[in-house]
Amino acid sequence: MRKKISLELRQKLVNFLFEVGTLRKIIRAHRQTLLTDDFSDNIASHSFRVAIIGWFLAKLEGADPYKVVMMCLLHDLEESRAGDQNWVHKRFVKVFEDEIKEGQLMPLPESEELLKLNQEYQERKTLEAKLAKDADLLDQILLLREYCWQGNQEAARWLKGRRQEQQISSATAKKLATLIRQQRPSEWWDNLWTAQRRK
């Protein structure tokens, strides 16, 4: 059954959607510590791959894919207002993530569900929350492998340190992390390229 919402709620939803769109403009802060100028890596592109990873992890681990994907989509939403902070920044910068998330989500239809999913993700007690975090970590490992392949020595050092892998909780994500380290980032198109134009 279709839900009816007021004009005021629709306007708040449109405002939120514009705000979500700004995540394409928020460049990830690890550019500083990884010594890269990859402008294609932004919060929106990160969240997109995290959500895809999360869906597969949920399916393979027997979790609720809806919850995992929603947690993945929400996990960095506050960065539209606070920006991204790398692990150096986090030592010195306090971000009021809960306050930001409440300000973003409370005015929306279905705000209770969104806030509940966000809280569940933050607590990391459920399988779904752990898988959403695993998806976040796997995206970082993929990115490090891509940068490493391009010759970025800082990324190679981070990848060698296995910081992200040490935080992974699920067996599926651990196995994927191992494969990510071994596989060339361009291997996906090995059997697709051809010199012959299709007729």
Instruction: Give the chain's domains with CATH numbers.
Output: 7-184 (1.10.3210.10)
pLDDT value of residue 49? 98
CA distance 77 to 118: 10
Q: Is the dihedral of CA 68, 70, 73, 78 positive or negative?
A: negative
Contacts of 96 (CB under 8 A, 6+ apart): 82
| pLDDT reported for residue 73 | 98
Long-range interactions of 165-168: CB distance < 8 A, separation 24+: 165/137, 165/141, 167/133, 167/137, 168/134, 168/137, 168/138
> Taking Cα atoms as reference points, which of 74, 84, 81 lies closest to residue 31?
84
Average pLDDT of the segment spanning 99-112:
95
Mean pLDDT of 172-185: 95
pLDDT of residue 23: 95
pTM passes above 0.75: yes
Do the Cβ atoms of 84 and 29 come closer than 8 Å?
yes
List residues bridging with 27 in a β-sheet.
42
pLDDT of residue 10: 93
In SS3 terms, 84-116 reads as CCCCCHHHHCCCCHHHHHHHHHCCCCCHHHHHH
Cβ atoms < 10 Å from Cβ of 129: 23
Model confidence at 26: pLDDT above 90: yes
Query: Which tens digit of pLDDT belongs to each residue from 29-87?
Result: 988 888 888 889 999 999 999 999 999 999 999 999 999 999 999 999 999 999 999 88
Q: Residue 195: what pLDDT?
A: 86
Q: pLDDT tens for residues 130-177?
A: 999 999 999 999 999 999 999 999 999 988 877 778 899 999 999 999
